[in-house]
Structure 1
Amino acid sequence: MTTDQNTGTARDMLEPVLTRCAEAETCADPSSVMTLLADSSHTGGGFTSYRSSFAKGAAGAPAHFHTKAWELFFVISGSLQVLVGEEVSVLGAGDFLAVPPHTPHAFAAAPGEEADVLFVFTPGMGRFDYLRLLGRVMRGEADPAEIAASSEQYDNHYVDSPVWRAALERSA
């Protein structure tokens, strides 16, 4: 704890977070590479952030929602197809999307496109182990049932979305 010089109140001292790309941990599956940037343990719970590079046709994430966190998307390059509620749209380079808690959403590389996307969750929670688990499942090294069993731990709740299924079928 330190004392804020402006207010005189005690507060926890947070340190800046710097993650060098060359030193960042990556998780890969057959269609994407996730670069782990800052988990909530590094940010005092303020946020969690990672970057995903999706190959053409990459599936991304099925329809799901979070009960505690906003999920923020910033498209660095390429195109990302997203579901928000019942609406499917395509985000292009430079587009930003913020999805509030309890809102079903999904994402995938737009048809015929690659996508490079920065993700931020706020408030943060330990999600890096979840991302590592996803990679293991996609590579056939872990049972998909582990994902369902971890929904509360990682605040990732999957839902059925006929709208999203139809969008994926159209782009196949």
Structure 2
Amino acid sequence: MTETENLTRAAAAETITDGPGSVITLLTDTAELTCNTASFEVGAAGAPVHFHTKATEFFHVTDGLLDVLVGDEIHTLGKGDFLSVPAGVKHAFAPAAGRTAEVFVGFTPGMARFDYYRLLGRVRAGEAGVRDIIDSGPVYDNHYAESEAWAGRPRNAEA
């Protein structure tokens, strides 16, 4: 392997359960690029409305349907769809109502974000609290916001 190469084998990749029906698989976390996959079961909450001041976040759906808020508009992405959200734009994502989703997620530039995902896992396990997530915002460039469009979106197949 060369100095510039970054290899993560599937069998060695760290996985984190950050909420009911949600698993994050950590792939790479360098100054240039942070990447993971996210697997969402039907009804998983996904990521709340937030924005990043320094990084573009991008999504490539590898299976299922994913709702993504960008600004005040919700896009439903299907298998093979790609979307990038520039720094400063509020966004959120979760599986579409009644659906599952498998997503490749990345950030550029990267910024040692894996510890943020680990914090989410500790909150899920009862070892940390929501206040810890809020307080970590400046460290991981994750800033929470509000969205009427996202709050009002259908979350189950009957809606």
Q: Which residue pairs with 1:17 in the alignment?
A: 6
Higher RCO by CA contacts (8 Å cutoff, separation 6 or greater): 2
State yes or no: 1:108 paired with 2:98: no
Q: Distance in 2 between matches of 1:19 and 1:52?
A: 16
Q: Distance in 1 between matches of 2:94 and 2:126?
A: 20
Match of 1:128 among 102, 114, 117: 114
Q: Which residue pairs with 1:28 in the alignment?
A: 17
Match of 2:44 among 58, 61, 69: 58
- Pairwise CA distance, 1:163: 1.0
Q: Distance in 2 between matches of 1:169 and 1:38?
A: 31
The number of residue pairs the alignment matches comes to 156
With normalisation by structure 2, the TM-score equals 0.93
Q: SS of 1:167's equivalent?
A: coil
- Pairwise CA distance, 1:169: 5.7
Q: Which runs of 5+ in 2 are unaligned?
A: none
Match of 1:69 among 42, 48, 55: 55
Q: Structure 1 counterpart of 2:17, which letter? A: A
Instruction: Using the aligned pairs only, state the percent identity.
Output: 54
With normalisation by structure 1, the TM-score equals 0.86
1:123-162 mapped onto 2 (5 Å cutoff): 123-162=109-148
1:3-14 mapped onto 2 (5 Å cutoff): 14=3
| Pair member with larger Rg | 1
Q: Which residue pairs with 1:88 in the alignment?
A: 74
| Structure 1 vs Structure 2 CA RMSD | 1.6
Runs of 4+ in 1 over 6 A off after TM superposition: none
Q: Which runs of 5+ in 1 are unaligned?
A: 1-12
- Pairwise CA distance, 1:141: 2.6
Q: Which residue pairs with 1:99 in the alignment?
A: 85
Match of 1:38 among 10, 25, 28: 28
Q: Structure 2 counterpart of 1:64, which letter? A: H
Q: Structure 1 counterpart of 2:15, which letter? A: T
